[in-house]
Structure 1
Amino acid sequence: MQPGAQPTLLGRIYCPIGSRKLNLKRTSTTLSTTSTWSRAAHQHRRGSNMVVANTFNDIPERPSFPDEEQRVLQRWRDIKAFDQCMEQAKDKPAYIFYDGPPFATGLPHYGHILAGTIKDVVCRYQHQNGKKVLRKWGWDCHGLPVEQEIDKKLGIKERKDVFEMGIPKYNEECRSIVQRYASDWKATVERYGRWVDMENDYRTMDINFMESVWWVFKQLFNKGSVYRAYRVMPYSFACQTALSNFEVGQAYKDRLDPSVIIRFRRTDQQNASILAWTTTPWTLPSNMALCVHPTHTYLKVLLPAAAGETEREEVLVGRERLDWVLSEMKIKKEDCTILKELPGKELGGLRYEPLFPYAVPKVNKEKAFQVFVDEYVGTEAGTMIVHQAPQHGEDDYRVCVANGLISKGGDGMPMFVDEDGKFVDAVTDFAGMNAKMEADPLIKKMLKEKGNLVASGQINHSYPHCWRSDTPLIYKAIPSWFVKVEEIREKLIANNHKTRWVPSFVQEKRFHNWLAEARDWCVSRTRFWGTPIPLWCSSDFEEIVCIGSVAELEQYAGRKITDIHRHFIDDIEIPSKMGKGMLRRVDEVFDCWFESGSMPYAQMHYPFENKELLESGGFPAQFIAEGLDQTRGWFYTLMVLSTHLFDQPPFLNLICNGLILAEDGKKMSKRLKNYPDPLYMTKQYGADAVRMYMCNSPAVRAEPLRFKEADVQDVVKNIFLPWYNAYRFLVMESQRLESKQKSPFKPDFSLLEKSENLTDRWILAACSNLLKTVETEMDSYKLYAVVPQLAGFWEQLTNWYIRLNRPRMRGDAGAADAMASLTVLYTVLLDVTILFAPVTPFLSDLVYENLQRALPDGHEKKADCVHFVMRPRFNKNLLNEQIEASVKTMQQLIETARLLRNRKKIGLKTPLLSMRVVYDDERANEFADVEQLITYIKEEVNVMDVSVLPASQAREVRVSNIANLRTKKKSTAQKCKKAELAMDKVQEVLNGWTATEIDAYEANEQRVEILGVTFDKNDLEIAREVNIEGMNGRNVDLAHAYDPSNNLVILDFTPDEDLMKLAAGRSVANTIQKLCKEANLRPQDLVDIYGIAHNDKLKKALTDKSEYVDKLLRRKLTLLDAPPADRQVVATDTAELDDGKTKFTAFICPRRPSLLPAFDSVCKSPSEKTAVLAAIQTWSSSEYLKKLQESLAATKKASVTVHVCSAEDKSKVAAFVLEDGVHVTCGSDVALGGA
């Protein structure tokens, strides 16, 4: 410690500081004890001095939101907050929410976090509304995602590899990895603040869930809505299974494919061919026919002879496609001869030579290799002649069946591509090749050699891909099990109309259109790990038994069944009742979408359990939410099954979110590392920042979001820090008031409706309006309309209400007014913090946990956690549109005045003489309350005088309209040039216009004829011209502008010596305040401020305006000619003032201690008094804190005994007081306290 150093304040503890600047953290951990000073309820009186424990805990100036979130999260765990929340709501009305099950075979990504946040916000809000919101988590455990992981792990390439391994072993391998990442999911879900029951979750692989899925299927089977058919289906050769049409709809991608025109030589005529186009050469070995449209026009065209040839070839091609075909063949049209036009129906029956020999032995030779006629052929692409490969085309299959080429069951159709997507041995030239991925080039080469390839190129088109393997799909005819959907289309559409979607366009366009074209649903998958389809059939499928429960199967099996996966039940046989031997279970398992579509019932094991619960309100859901891709996934399957089962929609309200992309607009990719890790974001900015960013993004309107880390950082900067600073301001100013009043801060809510202060009434009205708006929008599930309202309110509170009322809250107008304004601020902060809780659960609870300390026990808003508190309701008595309009007018006037300052490049620290506002007389009512806000306008604009006048009374201000020609506009210039009319002549006419002419122009829809030419609003502009006479006969420097409501704002920038003194004083005050902030001083800390003015002009200005400067500082500034020699300097700085020339040096010094009068009775001699003070001053910070810590640890109290002895007699103890603020009482049984 430096010699002569004096004590100063550390938090509320008095200790010596010997350094130049303070860098002390004011946190409740200054003393390592459970009973810190900020939480002490102890009060001690000694004479007129009283020490009062503060209502609120101290809070740091610069918080780490991620660290604070971790502390909040740990507190939630400690008090079992979610369990308490559910217990509180157990007897309240139920709010039904369904949570779609994700796969746990991968880590959660931003898409999951976005959907999870939306779900959490709505569920928390509904809990705030007094509802019991069951939030049951689920896992999707079956299907391709799991099997693919095992295939990679075990090196399985083909379906036969599974049979070689054995289905039991394969399925158990699948089971073993199903919840590989479950712990990671739980950690991420918890860290992002979502409250959901993951302990009592449902899993689609559990027997109870699977049994309910069987029950659902049996209901459909019993009503005749299930059938088996041979159909051409989208087929994933990578996953070796068919996919449903809605799965295909999720995964279209642009792809380069071949574009070839093939010559099919006619058998009835030499040198005559039929030209057909395809993008799938690999389907040509399966060609069995060609097809044309019956009424479209086709041409017989004679092509020019090929090089070295004399004979010309005749070809058949569609009329509308001739030009394209010739361009692809690189033939000029003028070198061709059109022989004949004829309708497509006349081409039916024409025969052609097979391209390949493979199908010839297998087909009906009388029907094959000829032209069929069907209306599906279009004119938009190709040659208008389509090659038919019924194994690989849905229309091809239908046309070939209709013409008797193959049977409806597929008889007579060669099957050249196997389940792995490879050509079978019968296709000798390409056997074993992957048809789609490998064979195209070789097929084109062979056709070229045979003279059948007449044109070859590439096409970039949208092509379906497998949603799991990302490989292109093929279309392949396979037998499958279908649920009828086409027969219930109208019911689906009707049920869709009973729901509310946000945004609505997804429901009205995307989903409606999908339902209107809904196809029967292929629910079977030729896979292994899934819920087995419970059908036992004869070999000819004429006898079918559908099992709907485990008990029913046990009756047939004669044994106890504890698992119904394939390897536990495939051996069970059921005797035929029709003499067809034993019935065996079909090979397929359910499409996993059938399972997730069954979750409303299966998660409850309905109807085997919870029958009454589901039927008495557990269905339909009041709310669900997922991504836009689920319109053809979960949303669709839910709707299909609920319509089939109950003819009801499965949900009433739905929020659909958009896709989250990387910042560059590309898909987020782990390989490319083009996005920040979700857990990194929580460590860097906190989960709340990500939650709010996503809830305020296009993604909650089902639009794509380019995720930008900088935007999340902006949430912290623009929303969280203003919120936190408003909260910290309340804490600090309440502590200041407590220090002055010697009593704890207790908000007086009775003052709210009594306040006469217009800004109090305004912010209360704005807050109540916010509560009302949020209620309306949240009840409509419009999150996108809620978050901007919440974010905008903080701007009003922090940038306007607090800034305007800071002097009131600091007590400039007395303690009563300070209490009134702080009560208003407290009320607004508390209500909006509770309102914010669903969106920002961590920060809201952090702030609330401190704010609720001011509430009395039993208050409806007092609880252990903000999420236990019901939503604050708006108070209609506080709503006041008139006052909100008046404050908005004030804000516009202030902002317009700042704009004028910017134009003149004169900062706000420079005071101005006057501001005048002129408004139209008819708007007098709008300005009735503005008069009460003039004081605020003066402060914010830093102007000495403000007058607000109607135009009729502002006689020195003349406003007139003038008309000008838009001479720089090209269209106007051309109009004048065309009429040979000089533009300056037009302007001369306009210069002579009076108000009458301008009014006539406006009344005539802004059209007028001038010198024979008609001009309109695109040619003319009407501008306002303002003329202001000198005010009070002075030469003045005036500037004016109109605010957004067309009120005229005039500022007087005329220089004034007295104003320059005020400007200097304000600049000095700002310098000192900045230094105090750097020294970490609080308003109630006891310091003295000294300063040196480095020129006489500044010294005189500070002397003349000392009262003004002291008011700004709320402390007295003492001017010196030299640094204070006998005082310890805590902080000092020399700064240039705003003019960039004048310098001022500030010094901050701790106040000296003084002795109580009662001290004389204890220590009477001057030497003893000196010794006491000397002893106090020799304590170092660490020693003093150590003494306090030891004493507190021993007593476990918020008070401590501190012995201070004189040098002469160590048995004597003394008490001393530091000014009027902080005192230390020293003795055997008295306490140390702080203000």
Structure 2
Amino acid sequence: MPIVPLLDQSGHYNNNAPEIVRGSYLKKGERHIKEDLEKRGLIFAKQPHTHSYPHCHRCETPLYYSALSSWFINIQKVKNRLIQLNEKINWQPEHLKRGRFLNIVEGAPDWNISRNRYWASPLPIWKCQKCQKTEIIGSVEDLKKRTKKSGNKYFVMRHGWAESNEKNISSSKLENSHNYPLTEKGEKQVRISAEKLAGQKIDLILHSPFERTKETAFIVAEEIGLAKENIISDKRLMEVDAGIFEGKNVADYHAHFSSALEKFNNPPPEGECLNDLKKRTGEFLYETEKKYSGKNILIVSHEYPVWMLYSSALGLNEKEAIKAREEKDDFINTGEFMELPFVPLPHDKNFTLDLHRPYIDEVELVCPDCGGEMKRTPEVLDGWFESGAMPFAEYHYPFENKEQFEKRFPGDFVAEYVAQTRTWFYYMHAIAGMLFGGVSFKNVVSTGTILAEDGSKISKSKGNYTDPMLNMNKFGADALRYYLMASPVMQSEDVCFSDSELKEIHSKIINILWNTFKFFDLYKAEYDGKTKVKESENVLDRWILSLLDNLIVEVSDGLDGYNTVKAGRPIKDFINDFSTWYVRRSRERVKGDDEKDKQSALATMREILNELAKLIAPIMPFMAEAIYKGVGSGEKESVHLEEWVKKVESGKWKVESLMEEMEEVRKIVSLGLEARAKAGIKVRQPLASLKIKSKISNLKSEEIQLLGLIKDELNIKEIIFDEKILGEVELDTKISPVLKEEGELRELVRGLQDLRKKSGLNPGQKIVLLVQAEGHAREFMEKFAEEIKKSAGLEKLEFSAVMEGGKEISTDGFLIKAKIEA
């Protein structure tokens, strides 16, 4: 059944349609059809019917479907190969590989690559108007070979050395050119070139009307025996108009411009720019090509016009034209000639090569079979074809950069929204499979959609989202990057963006990590630079290094697989463990008197922070850079220039058993804290003992360091293993007078340390403390004076009966007022 289009491109019925609607707009024609059917008694019934109808997404104009012939690529021939190649690609999320994408490839129809539009890349297909043969043109060189030509051969020549050259003066006005004729030197140059031109069988000489070019043309004609009627003057070949620089030193003209590029668009006062010159010389060249055929033509002009003739002939843009004369004082020397390699090309108004419509439609080719005229098919290329060609088109392959392209192709990864599985991902895959028999990319990261917090589509008109710049100014780019890269949106799932969740990331990851670094930064100057992390005997150091090794494996595996969720989420847990367990439990080690243990703690913190900076660099680049430079142990200028992290891998401890034991410790501590809270006893109040039901614990009584952590964390004196207790743990809640005093001392020291912090003092800065205390409070402080001085960093403790100002510090047993003396 033949396809008979009834509508034209404007939606009106054409001459193929019945006479009653011919010329009518589609929707208006409906009335005529119904009237005709009623007249002929062919309508059974009529009633309104509401149905969906396509509309333009920009202007809401109703659309209609029209039968058009199109160009297709036969996908069925390569489909099996495309399915096989998909197995070589790593997809994130993985289910897309054999799910959505495989279904798309398996069900793919033949690819309609043509569109009936104006703005797009024209289909490079020409059809003979005589024998209907079709040809695909694959390059500009192919186009040149097949373009209809006049058979002319062109030579360009610059005039001989003239008086203007001798005096280095700008001579750009025709009326003044008689003042600057050829010199004797110039005439000799021209005659030497004329001898060489004698064998070229010149039919015509076209020249600039300037005196020096006219003289040159006639000398050549005389030497080669060309009749005067074959010498033609053309004003379009005149020298570039230098405007106010006429008669001045040539250097003044050049100094007027900041660069060669400026000469193309900014004319000198009262003069012309190079694009103006290029237009007139280009028009001359193309007109000459149409006017003559089978002629050998010599064009005699000036240096800049010859340069622009060359640029027009090759379709060069401004930068290409400048490059064509690089490392030359002059594009062509006086008295010299050169062959002009000219084939008519599609070009814009500046005679720059332009392969788009309407210029390409003017190109006529010659049919290789019948010699008939070939015209380009009017369709343009599907935009997805160009997008799919991106991996090689960006290198202008195969015409340039062949080695660079082959080195880089296929791409390591591509990332885009999940809907690109049926568009960009598919088309790149199809083109690579057809052209190269391989894949276009090795890995795919496919994302979901970011929605408003209520699950609706983010809309600028609704204003249902916070400006990303405001969020970045408030919480930083790293928080936003981590929030998204560790979220389901990186697994092709939709995510409801929440400012409160972003704030939580900033608080629980960014701030905690930064505060942890700042603690190390306070004491990093005390690190001896010699202590090695692998030599530490402290269980906390060994544990956090083991945890780091696990993190390195998890993040590396995640990033190697392009799974940012798998790589990102463990970072949060590690930062929490590092800060709230390791650093908090190691604070007193850093401040304490055990120098060996102190150095081990500082060395470990330094190592952890330095390696963690490398691990988080792909996700939190700014935080990573700040920590890396702050720690100062890296050898590179930037963390982003570092090698990827390697595991510590110390053989001095068993990683898995240590991790299990520390997990058990933290579990017992959690149970102990619950017991304290239930009994209403603060952690700062020491207790005599904690009983642990031995069956629930893998810890051995001889694990001194691990048990020590439990004691310190729960503030107890003794751990007892007892299978007879009812619960999993049991606290001795009896508080003796000695324990009571110890608790009050802790409360007092905590208050004094808080006073120091609010006063902005450094940890090592010694102070004089003035205290107002009476009765029991003073007796207590005098009794524990040395311990108070040591713990609170006091140089001197003084008591005063009356004090102005100061801060009140209370314990369960007394109240004092304290002030730091300057």
Q: Same fold per TM (> 0.5)?
A: yes
> Residues 486, 851 of structure 1: CA spacing in aligned structure 2 closer, same or farther, 3 A cutoff?
same
The equivalent residue for 1:787 is 568
The equivalent residue for 1:769 is 550
- What amino acid is the match of 1:841? P
The equivalent residue for 1:865 is 638
Could you tell me whether the CA contact under 8 Å between 1:763 and 1:797 is conserved in 2?
yes
* 1:828-977 map, 5 Å: 828-852=608-632, 855=633, 861-877=634-650, 880-920=655-695, 924=698, 927=700, 930-947=703-720, 949=721, 954=722, 956-957=724-725
Does the alignment pair 1:1054 with 2:734?
yes
Does the alignment pair 1:652 with 2:442?
yes
- What amino acid is the match of 2:564? L
576-585 or 874-883, which deviates more: 576-585
440-449 or 635-644, which deviates more: 440-449
> Residues 685, 732 of structure 1: CA spacing in aligned structure 2 closer, same or farther, 3 A cutoff?
same
Distance of 1:724 and 1:441 partners within structure 2 = 74
> Identity of paired residues, percent?
28
Could you tell me whether the CA contact under 8 Å between 2:676 and 2:683 is conserved in 1?
yes
Distance of 1:1074 and 1:450 partners within structure 2 = 97
Could you tell me whether the CA contact under 8 Å between 1:886 and 1:929 is conserved in 2?
no
For CA contacts below 8 A with separation 6 or more, give which structure has more relative contact order: 1
* 1:1162-1181 map, 5 Å: none
Give CA deviations for 1:1098-1126 in whole Å, capped at 9, x if unaligned.
Answer: 4455455555544542437836352468x
Distance of 1:422 and 1:930 partners within structure 2 = 92
Distance of 2:415 and 2:790 partners within structure 1 = 56
The equivalent residue for 2:97 is 507
Which secondary structure does the structure 1 equivalent of 2:400 belong to? coil
Question: 1:871 offset after TM fit, Å?
Answer: 1.4
RMSD of aligned alpha carbons: 3.3
Which secondary structure does the structure 1 equivalent of 2:510 belong to? helix
Does the alignment pair 1:493 with 2:83?
yes
Distance of 1:802 and 1:472 partners within structure 2 = 67
Question: 1:638 offset after TM fit, Å?
Answer: 0.5
- What amino acid is the match of 1:582? E
Distance of 1:431 and 1:1059 partners within structure 2 = 104
1:632 to 422, 425, 432: 422
The equivalent residue for 2:184 is none
> Residues 523, 1075 of structure 1: CA spacing in aligned structure 2 closer, same or farther, 3 A cutoff?
same
- What amino acid is the match of 2:662? V
Give CA deviations for 1:105-158 in whole Å, capped at 9, x if unaligned.
Answer: xxxxxxxxxxxxxxxxxxxxxxxxxxxxxxxxxxxxxxxxxxxxxxxxxxxxxx
Which secondary structure does the structure 2 equivalent of 1:1148 belong to? strand
Distance of 2:90 and 2:747 partners within structure 1 = 58
> Residues 905, 764 of structure 1: CA spacing in aligned structure 2 closer, same or farther, 3 A cutoff?
same
Distance of 2:462 and 2:657 partners within structure 1 = 55
The equivalent residue for 1:800 is 581
Distance of 1:898 and 1:440 partners within structure 2 = 82
1:1144 to 799, 810, 816: 816
Output the TM-score relative to the length of structure 2. 0.69
Does the alignment pair 1:482 with 2:72?
yes
Question: 1:894 offset after TM fit, Å?
Answer: 1.2
2:359 to 561, 568, 572: 568
Does the alignment pair 1:590 with 2:381?
yes
- What amino acid is the match of 1:787? G
- Please list every run of 5 or more consecutive structure 2 residues that lacks an aligned counterpart in the other structure: 148-342, 347-352
Question: 1:914 offset after TM fit, Å?
Answer: 1.9
Does the alignment pair 1:1134 with 2:808?
yes
The equivalent residue for 1:623 is 413
* 1:731-770 map, 5 Å: 731-735=521-525, 737=526, 745-749=527-531, 751-770=532-551
Could you tell me whether the CA contact under 8 Å between 1:1093 and 1:1119 is conserved in 2?
no
The equivalent residue for 2:108 is 518
User: Is the strand fraction higher in 1 or 2?
Assistant: 1
Which secondary structure does the structure 1 equivalent of 2:806 belong to? strand
The equivalent residue for 2:456 is 666
The equivalent residue for 1:700 is 490
The equivalent residue for 1:1228 is none
Give CA deviations for 1:1000-1042 in whole Å, capped at 9, x if unaligned.
Answer: xxxxxxxxxxxxxxxxxxxxxxxxxx2xxxxxxxxxxxxx4xx
Distance of 1:833 and 1:1089 partners within structure 2 = 40
Distance of 1:469 and 1:748 partners within structure 2 = 72
Could you tell me whether the CA contact under 8 Å between 2:557 and 2:567 is conserved in 1?
no
Could you tell me whether the CA contact under 8 Å between 1:1066 and 1:1109 is conserved in 2?
no
Which secondary structure does the structure 1 equivalent of 2:535 belong to? coil
- What amino acid is the match of 1:549? S
Could you tell me whether the CA contact under 8 Å between 1:916 and 1:1051 is conserved in 2?
yes
> Residues 663, 429 of structure 1: CA spacing in aligned structure 2 closer, same or farther, 3 A cutoff?
farther
Could you tell me whether the CA contact under 8 Å between 1:1062 and 1:1105 is conserved in 2?
no
- What amino acid is the match of 1:493? I
Could you tell me whether the CA contact under 8 Å between 2:538 and 2:597 is conserved in 1?
no
Question: 1:699 offset after TM fit, Å?
Answer: 0.8
754-763 or 1101-1110, which deviates more: 1101-1110
Does the alignment pair 1:559 with 2:340?
no
> Residues 414, 1049 of structure 1: CA spacing in aligned structure 2 closer, same or farther, 3 A cutoff?
same
Does the alignment pair 1:1080 with 2:760?
yes
Question: 1:824 offset after TM fit, Å?
Answer: 0.7
- What amino acid is the match of 1:620? P
1:599 to 373, 387, 390: 390
Question: 1:421 offset after TM fit, Å?
Answer: 5.3
Could you tell me whether the CA contact under 8 Å between 1:883 and 1:929 is conserved in 2?
no
> Residues 589, 1086 of structure 1: CA spacing in aligned structure 2 closer, same or farther, 3 A cutoff?
same
Could you tell me whether the CA contact under 8 Å between 1:886 and 1:930 is conserved in 2?
no
Could you tell me whether the CA contact under 8 Å between 1:1061 and 1:1105 is conserved in 2?
no
Which secondary structure does the structure 2 equivalent of 1:895 belong to? helix
> Residues 1112, 894 of structure 1: CA spacing in aligned structure 2 closer, same or farther, 3 A cutoff?
farther
The equivalent residue for 2:747 is 1067
Output the TM-score relative to the length of structure 1. 0.47
Could you tell me whether the CA contact under 8 Å between 1:911 and 1:942 is conserved in 2?
yes
> Residues 1143, 514 of structure 1: CA spacing in aligned structure 2 closer, same or farther, 3 A cutoff?
same
Which secondary structure does the structure 2 equivalent of 1:637 belong to? helix
Give CA deviations for 1:950-974 in whole Å, capped at 9, x if unaligned.
Answer: xxxx2542xxxxxxxxxxxxxxxxx
1:614 to 397, 401, 405: 405
Could you tell me whether the CA contact under 8 Å between 1:1064 and 1:1102 is conserved in 2?
no
The equivalent residue for 1:678 is 468
Could you tell me whether the CA contact under 8 Å between 1:501 and 1:654 is conserved in 2?
yes
> Residues 618, 444 of structure 1: CA spacing in aligned structure 2 closer, same or farther, 3 A cutoff?
farther
Which secondary structure does the structure 2 equivalent of 1:666 belong to? coil
Which secondary structure does the structure 2 equivalent of 1:753 belong to? helix
Could you tell me whether the CA contact under 8 Å between 1:914 and 1:945 is conserved in 2?
yes
Distance of 1:440 and 1:900 partners within structure 2 = 84
Could you tell me whether the CA contact under 8 Å between 2:104 and 2:422 is conserved in 1?
yes
Question: 1:884 offset after TM fit, Å?
Answer: 1.4
* 1:1187-1202 map, 5 Å: none
- What amino acid is the match of 1:476? S
Which secondary structure does the structure 2 equivalent of 1:748 belong to? coil
Could you tell me whether the CA contact under 8 Å between 1:1092 and 1:1146 is conserved in 2?
yes
Question: 1:567 offset after TM fit, Å?
Answer: 2.6
- What amino acid is the match of 1:621? G
- What amino acid is the match of 2:9? E
Distance of 1:447 and 1:1107 partners within structure 2 = 112
Could you tell me whether the CA contact under 8 Å between 1:887 and 1:930 is conserved in 2?
no
2:600 to 816, 820, 824: 820
Question: 1:465 offset after TM fit, Å?
Answer: 7.6
Could you tell me whether the CA contact under 8 Å between 1:1064 and 1:1098 is conserved in 2?
no
Which secondary structure does the structure 2 equivalent of 1:873 belong to? coil
> Residues 487, 475 of structure 1: CA spacing in aligned structure 2 closer, same or farther, 3 A cutoff?
farther
